Amino acid sequence: MFGSLGRQLEDELKRPGPINDLLSFCEEKSGIDRRYIVYCGILLLCIYLLIGYGTGALVLVIGFIYPAYESVKAIESPSKDDDTQWLIYWVVFASLQLFETCTLSLIYYFPLYPLIKCLFLLYCMAPVRENGSTFIYNHVIRPLFLKHSAKIDSALDKAVDLAGNLVEENNFQKFRGLNAYRPRSLVGRTKRVCVDCGRFFDSLRGLSSHRRVHKESFPEHHSDC
């Protein structure tokens, strides 16, 4: 397994691009194989995360810059496989950020957490087919989604319908009462706000109806990414 990952990583490090150009320059100047240059860079990064300052911000930058760059390239490319790969990464990245928010960032007080998070994100963005984000998605996020997606869609539909009904039933009466105390110049603006609110919730209802129509066509199981 690790031998296969190593070969995939080596092939990706030789793929044309800015990373390949940088590694070629370092390889030419130092005479050291690019694999060992990458390993030394990761080792130095780990040492800094153990003893340096601002490690939380540094890890966040590491987890964002390269994936964002590759995501833009994926959007601009005709292939959809790389789009799926980076969408999966961002779902995992957002899930990790949500987990940290729910713990009120107290998890950063645990020893070695910045280092563990950095290594985890590097594994998730690794330019190999079965990287960390694919593993987490297929074994954790996707099963949870398939199990609870119907309930979530139902709750969203009810919330949209309830919000739209509240606007239709109460908003115009409330604004009409407020207009009695407003200058005439503001009455027209108030009416426009009411109309815009109605259009907004009509669009939400349309989206909700669209989801209901296509809900039966949603496959119960997807092939692994």
What does the pLDDT look like over 14-24, one tens digit per residue? 777 777 788 88
- Residue 116 sits in the same domain as residue 187: no
CA dihedral 194, 199, 201, 203 (to 10 degrees): -170
Would 101 be classed as within a structural domain? yes
The answer to whether position 143 is within a domain reads: no
% residues pLDDT > 70 (the chain): 67
Please check whether residues 126 and 154 belong to one and the same domain: no
pLDDT digits (tens, 9 = 90+) for 1-42: 455 656 666 666 777 777 778 888 888 888 888 888 888 888
Same structural domain for residues 119 and 158?
no
Whether residues 7 and 106 fall in one domain: yes
Is the residue at 196 inside a domain? yes
Cα–Cα nearest to 124, from 108, 137, 114, 113: 137
What is the domain count for the chain?
2
Distance, CA of 68 to CA of 20 (rounded, Å): 18
19 plus 104 within the same structural domain: yes
CB of 63 closer than 8 Å to CB of 93: yes
182 and 120 share one domain: no
User: CA–CA separation, 160 vs 157, rounded Å?
Assistant: 5
Asked if residue 78 and residue 18 are part of one domain, the reply reads yes
The mean of the pLDDT values for the chain is: 77
| Local structure of residue 138 (DSSP, 8 states) | I
CA distances from 100 to 52, 134, 174 (A): 21, 20, 41
Final residue belonging to a domain, choices 130, 160, 177? 130
Identify which of 105, 91, 102, 100 has the alpha carbon closest to the alpha carbon of residue 144.
Answer: 91
Q: Are residues 46 and 76 in the same domain?
A: yes
Specify the range with the lowest mean pLDDT, choosing from 46-60, 80-94, 192-206: 192-206
How many Å is the maximal CA-CA distance in the chain?
A: 82
Same domain, 21 and 80: yes
Same domain flag for 174 and 63: no
Range of the domain at 51: 2-130
Q: Are residues 126 and 152 in the same domain?
A: no
pTM of the shown model: 0.67
- 70 occurs within a structural domain: yes
Is residue 186 one of the residues assigned to a domain?
yes
**Same-domain check for residues 125 and 160:** no
Contact 136, 210 (CB under 8 A): no
